[in-house]
Amino acid sequence: MKPVKVGLLGLGTVGTGVVRIVEGHQEDLASQIGSPIVIEKVLVQDKSKARNIPIDPDKLTEDAWDIIRHPDIDVIVEVMGGIGLTKEYILEALSLGKHVVTANKDLMALHGPEILAKAHENRCDVLYEASVAGGIPIIRTLVEGFSSDRINKIMGIVNGTTNFILTKMSQEGASYLDVLKEAQELGYAESDPTSDVEGLDAARKMTILATIGFRANVALEDVSVQGISSVSKEDILYAKRLGYEVKLLGIAERQDDLISVSVQPTMVKQTHPIASVNGVFNAVYVYGEAVGETMFYGAGAGELPTATSIVSDLVAVVKNLKLGVNGKQASLAYKEKKLKTDEQISSKYFLLLKVADRAGVLARITQVFADFEVSLESVLQQPTPSNPEVEIIVITHDANKAAMQKVLAMFESLDVVHEVKSVYRVEG
């Protein structure tokens, strides 16, 4: 049996996991695809560096082109990250007829359509299951499992760092900054955590999921993004008191072929399954017209969960290779993208207002909502001892985003409203 030869770009945490699985599961892999898989060449930054896995030094190279242009390599597995040079490597590999498996969410979110078009042109596969939610097989599920259904909504916790922070704040009453510091010490958050905590990482993943789920090329700039850095322990305390948990959710919705995609801290009813997803775990909730509601839960990162997704993609590529059907999958994005306007995006909202403690204030506030046709589900007034102001909590019925923006703008000009402390979307 002729082996399938693989070039591995990157030998960090995930790359190491790929080597472990491929070399440790040879019998299982060969039984599935009918031939062994051999890692022929591996790109590293420093060949002399000590490794925590045994690997033949002759297989290591510091030059990516040794792998991209290697005549015997059939599949490129990219786990090096980055965008500029990485894109160049992948496009060149595809032009040479090599198939690609990647874990690179940034690359696929920003340049996915171009890369997939190049793959189609050269009859190559590009698979990227590991780019979203680590070990959860959500991309394959959306492409294959929902192929006969019509997806109307994808809602997910797709960033483990922010979920860890919000879980700790909820369970321990800790402050955002204290938990962020702990997350950095544990290695869950980078020294510069901006991409995670400001929602950018989640936005890239939601770009990929929305493109696949709605069959339209959703771009990163189409995603409305808000991070968790302004979430206070008071917000979480109020949420719990009202029966909610605060989660950073990516939400992609479609109605009558109109699409909206957002990432924001969201109050989720505690009875909703996604509210109980804690720590660094991820979960994706999918609403299909035929199947109804389904949830996919698991490890969203880590050496072996992510590597498992990569090797699963590798197996799929090799199976296609054996059948001679590489590059023949139908286009994932064949529909015209039509984005919702703010008037067409609706949800419930939670507002925490600090207002003057005097007669008639509540009536003035509720009148503002009425003026913009926003109906209210509940209103709670919290007195603050020895303070000339009170806190008012409002939960609205479904309201469109444009109307809510007008309500908030009006509150800015009302002398009785001292501060709009918090505004959150409400789900479940």
**Domain boundaries of the chain, sorted by first residue:** 4-134+303-323, 138-299, 342-427
Provide CB contacts within 8 A for 95, sequence distance 6+.
118, 122
Sign of the torsion angle spanned by Cα atoms 14, 20, 26, 29: negative
Q: Which two tokens stand for residue 97?
A: 């007829």
Query: How many whole angstroms separate alpha carbon 334 and alpha carbon 71?
Result: 34
* Phi, psi dihedrals of residue 76, rounded to the nearest 5°: -100, 125
Q: Please tell me the distance from the alpha carbon of residue 105 to that of residue 306, in angstroms, as a whole number.
A: 12
Residue 423 half-sphere exposure, CB side, CA atoms within 13 Å? 12
Q: The tokens of 353 are what?
A: 């207002």
205 is catalytic: yes
The pLDDT of residue 169 is 97
Q: Are 222 and 207 in contact (CB under 8 A)?
A: yes
Give the alpha-carbon dihedral of 417, 422, 423, 428, to 10 degrees.
-130
pLDDT by residue, tens only, the chain of 428 residues: 789 999 999 999 999 999 999 999 999 988 899 889 999 999 999 998 988 899 999 999 999 999 999 999 999 999 999 999 999 999 999 999 999 999 999 999 999 999 999 999 999 999 999 999 988 999 999 999 998 999 999 999 999 999 999 999 999 999 999 999 999 998 888 999 999 999 999 999 999 999 999 999 999 999 999 999 999 999 999 999 999 999 999 999 999 999 999 999 999 999 999 999 999 999 999 999 999 999 999 998 888 999 999 999 999 999 999 888 998 776 678 899 999 999 999 999 999 999 998 889 999 999 999 999 999 999 988 766 667 789 999 999 999 999 999 999 999 999 999 999 999 999 98
**Residue type for position 104:** N
Tokens 């506030």, located at residue: 365
Task: Quickly name the fold that domain 342-427 has.
Answer: Alpha-Beta Plaits (3.30.70)
Cα 203 from Cα 210, distance rounded (Å): 10
Backbone angles phi, psi at 199, to 5 degrees: 85, 5
CA distance 272 to 384: 31
pLDDT of residue 386: 66
Q: Which CATH architecture has domain 4-134+303-323?
A: 3-Layer(aba) Sandwich (3.40)
Question: How far is it, in rounded angstroms, from Cα 48 to Cα 178?
Answer: 39
User: What's at 406, amino acid-wise?
Assistant: K
3-class DSSP string for the chain: CCCEEEEEECCCHHHHHHHHHHHHCHHHHHHHHCCCEEEEEEECCCCCCCCCCCCCHHHEECCHHHHHCCCCCCEEEECCCCCHHHHHHHHHHHHCCCEEEECCHHHHHHHHHHHHHHHHHCCCCEECHHHCCCCCCHHHHHHHHCCCCCEEEEEEECCHHHHHHHHHHHHHCCCHHHHHHHHHHCCCCCCCCHHHHCCHHHHHHHHHHHHHHHCECCCHHHEEECCCCCCCHHHHHHHHHCCEEEEEEEEEEEECCEEEEEEEEEEEECCCHHHHCCCCEEEEEEEECCCEEEEEEEECCCHHHHHHHHHHHHHHHHHHHHHCCCCCCCCCCCECCCECCHHHCEEEEEEEEEEECCCCHHHHHHHHHHHCCCCEEEEEEEECCCCCEEEEEEEECCEEHHHHHHHHHHHHHCCCEEEEEEEEEEEC
Residues 6+ apart with CB under 8 A from 229: 176, 197, 198
**CATH (residue range 138-299):** 3.30.360.10
Enumerate the β-bridge partners of residue 284. 156, 296
Catalytic residue among 105, 205, 247, 340: 205
Separation of alpha carbons 263 and 251, rounded Å: 6
The confidence score (pLDDT) of residue 330 equals: 61
Q: Computed from CA positions of residues 296, 298, 300, 301, in that sequence, does the dihedral angle turn out positive or negative?
A: negative
Query: Which of 280, 323, 327 is CA-nearest to residue 97?
Result: 327
In this prediction, residue 388 carries a pLDDT of 77
